[in-house]
Structure 1
Amino acid sequence: MTLPATRALSGGAVLKSVRADLAPHRAVIEPQNKRVSVIRFSAQETDPQLWQHRMEASRVSAEQKVKAFSHLGYQVDHEVLPGGTSAADFARLIDERSADPNTSAIIVQYPPPPHLAPMVQRMAPEKDIDGLLGERSQQQACATAEGIARVVRPFAQDNPSIAVIGGKGFVGSGVVRLLEQDGLRVTSLDAGDDLRQARNADIIVSATGNPHVLTNDVVQPHHRLVVDSGFMPQADGSIAGDVHPSAQNVPQYITPVPGGIGPVEMAVLMDRAVKMDSDPNHTPWTCQPVPYLDKGQVAAMESMPSATASASRGVDGRAADGSKPESMQHRAPTQTSASRDAQGPSV
């Protein structure tokens, strides 16, 4: 007996469905002439290559946010600042947007240049839709962290062990906080830790932004879910996630890069915007459960003489018979289930 092939969970399907479900709120938001300010920084050719890659990832994310908020009827100010912008000028911009009654939300793409990071804290807390202000924010975590938590929850009904790699970072710490609030067992791993500790977990969440840091020495067939939130453009034009290609066909389910957590982040931001400017009682969407095997079931299947799990898995997320990857589906507040499974835009 063979293990089921690795399935790629498409965040694009979630975003497409959420966009459709939230579209009626445009009729409420658009007449208000509300604005969203999305601020990012550009890189120069003389900047270190790593910084250039991070700013390229920032550009892609910012452009997806413009699409998401525009869909809801907001006017979006997409502001691109040079990395050498002075602290005084950046502070002035944050203060202006915070004081503007027509600006509902302010998003600063991370990471900003180090000398400008402290100025983000000048943002009005009620406009911090992405949870950038830490304890001062009205959000429990950044949208990426909340999206990851929503993806994990359907896989965590039996209180599995969860390893969050990069758990001290901006995204990872938010994931740890949200999952611990759910009463789940979370192990936080970070720089200097032996990542092989994650081998025994049931679920792995990686939020390091360190390309290909997770190899098949860490990722195992019994992992019911591996969430890869990495997104790092490469010099050859490809996009690298945290999971090494050799490990992408190992777990039962994985979020692909691109097209996994990026679209889910956008869907969370749209949820928050609707709650802010259209329906304060709006109930957030959730991901539907999918079937998976627990650790004991995987061990039993692997012990069978005919088990050829590795041979049955494909790096593109397809089963050995060529069937298509799974799509994450979401359950909207007004639906018992979501039926849409078409692929949406990828980030």
Structure 2
Amino acid sequence: MSGHQLSGRAVLSQVREELARYHPVIAPQNLRVAVLRFEPGPEDPQAWRLRMEASRISAEQKVRAFTHLGFAVDHVVLPPTVSPAEFAARLDAANADPAVSAVIIQFPPPARLAALVHRLNPAKDIDGLLDERSLQRACATADGITRIVAPFAEGATVAVIGARGFVGSGVVRLLADRQIATLPLDQGDDLRRAARADIVVSTAGIPHLLTPNHIRPHHRVVVDSGFSPRPDGTVAGDISPQAATLPQHITPVPGGVGPVEMAVLMERIVRQVADPALKSWTIPPVPYLGRAAAAQMRSTGIRRAPGRVPGPAAAPRPGTEAPRHDKKRSGPTR
């Protein structure tokens, strides 16, 4: 049995198509979104330069997503020499500008600037960066991951790798909101415990961290939120290639969680400026096998996924019936 890839790009494509109807509402308002990211310096360690490359890719995805909706996007690239005063002034100006509907700060910022992120106006923090001050329950990445998990989660335990991190803690919180059991795991824990869970989510950002010691054929879905650019130009996820074929379903890297994150951000900003009643898009129930059936298929050598995954159910247009909300709902890693 080989893992069926869940395409985040397909989700984003359908959400973009559904939300395009708001372009004539948004564009005439001359609204803007500010996307701020940081450039690495020539003397920065390679690990930091690669993280900033991931930030660049994500920022460019956001520019395309918001432009599609009719926003003008200020993509601000801050040099490695930017001072705390300069960064604070940028945030203060965006907070004070009524034409700026949202501000995205690409993470991680340099450590010397991290505390200044909290100057951001919570009303413009559509990515949920402000912890308890945010109007969002969690960041868009965590929201997207939770929507991917939801169709598989009935009666399941979800192992969350990186559960104490920014994204991972948001996933644990959102799953708890849905009364889905979690197994939080992080640095210092025995990650092999993930093999006992029904679903695995990895937000660690460590290339090829999880191997066949952690990923098993009974896993209904594995969500790989890792996105680590490498010096050779390729991108690695948290799941090793040897383990990627084992679960019943898996998100690819790139093309998995990253596009879904964009779909969540698009939904959030449309709800904020154009349609407060906009309902969240979902993914319909997805077929998967129980542990015994998955083990039997593996033992007999059958190599096929348990079924095709339907596309997301977009939020209904005004005057139409809302999609059914139950435990089997779901929602670029990149």
- Choose the corresponding residue for 2:10, options 10, 13, 17: 13
Cα drift, residue 131 of structure 1:
0.1
Q: Residue 163 of structure 2 corresponds to which residue in structure 1?
A: 167
- Choose the corresponding residue for 1:227, options 220, 223, 238: 223
SS in 1 for 2:242: helix
Amino acid at match of 1:154: P
Cα drift, residue 289 of structure 1:
1.7
Q: How does 1:89-104 map to 2 (within 5 A)?
A: 89-104=86-101
Q: Residue 270 of structure 1 corresponds to which residue in structure 2?
A: 266
SS in 2 for 1:77: strand
Q: How does 1:177-188 map to 2 (within 5 A)?
A: 177-188=173-184
Cα drift, residue 8 of structure 1:
0.4
Cα drift, residue 6 of structure 1:
1.3
Cα drift, residue 290 of structure 1:
1.6
Amino acid at match of 2:145: I
Q: How does 1:251-290 map to 2 (within 5 A)?
A: 251-290=247-286
In 1: Cα distance, 2:294 partner to 2:333 partner: 31
Amino acid at match of 1:63: E
Q: Residue 147 of structure 1 corresponds to which residue in structure 2?
A: 144
In 1: Cα distance, 2:123 partner to 2:315 partner: 25
SS in 2 for 1:68: helix
Of the structure 1 ranges 294-303 and 260-269, higher mean CA displacement relative to structure 2 is found in: 294-303
In 1: Cα distance, 2:333 partner to 2:136 partner: 25
Q: Residue 72 of structure 2 corresponds to which residue in structure 1?
A: 75
What RMSD in Å do the two structures reach over aligned CA positions? 1.7
Q: Residue 214 of structure 2 corresponds to which residue in structure 1?
A: 218
Q: Residue 190 of structure 1 corresponds to which residue in structure 2?
A: 186
Q: Residue 59 of structure 2 corresponds to which residue in structure 1?
A: 62
In 1: Cα distance, 2:295 partner to 2:333 partner: 34
Amino acid at match of 1:90: F
In 1: Cα distance, 2:84 partner to 2:333 partner: 34
- TM-score of the superposition, structure 1-length normalised? 0.89
Q: Residue 130 of structure 2 corresponds to which residue in structure 1?
A: 133
Matched, 1:332 2:329: no
Number of matched residues? 321
SS in 2 for 1:56: helix
- Contact kept? 1:10, 1:327, Cα under 8 Å: no
- TM-score of the superposition, structure 2-length normalised? 0.93
User: Residues 278-319 of structure 1, C-alpha deviation per residue, up to 9 Å, x if partnerless?
Assistant: 00000010012221101122234445xxx125xx37xxxxx7
Matched, 1:119 2:116: yes
- Choose the corresponding residue for 1:28, options 11, 25, 28: 25
Cα gap change, 1:100 to 1:254, in 2 (>3 Å): same
In 2: Cα distance, 1:241 partner to 1:163 partner: 17
In 2: Cα distance, 1:302 partner to 1:287 partner: 27
Amino acid at match of 2:74: D
In 1: Cα distance, 2:135 partner to 2:157 partner: 29
- Contact kept? 1:14, 1:328, Cα under 8 Å: no
In 2: Cα distance, 1:32 partner to 1:133 partner: 27
Unmatched tracts of structure 1, length 5 or more? 314-318, 320-324, 338-344
Cα drift, residue 333 of structure 1:
2.2
SS in 1 for 2:35: strand
In 1: Cα distance, 2:9 partner to 2:308 partner: 11
User: Residues 23-55 of structure 1, C-alpha deviation per residue, up to 9 Å, x if partnerless?
Assistant: 010111111111100000011232101101100
Fraction of identical pairs, as percent: 55
Amino acid at match of 2:293: Q
- Choose the corresponding residue for 1:209, options 201, 205, 219: 205
SS in 2 for 1:44: coil
- Choose the corresponding residue for 2:295, options 296, 299, 302: 299
In 2: Cα distance, 1:151 partner to 1:214 partner: 19
Q: Residue 46 of structure 2 corresponds to which residue in structure 1?
A: 49
- Contact kept? 1:215, 1:244, Cα under 8 Å: yes
SS in 2 for 1:256: coil
SS in 1 for 2:111: coil
Matched, 1:239 2:246: no
- Contact kept? 1:165, 1:189, Cα under 8 Å: yes
Amino acid at match of 1:308: G
Unmatched tracts of structure 2, length 5 or more? 324-331
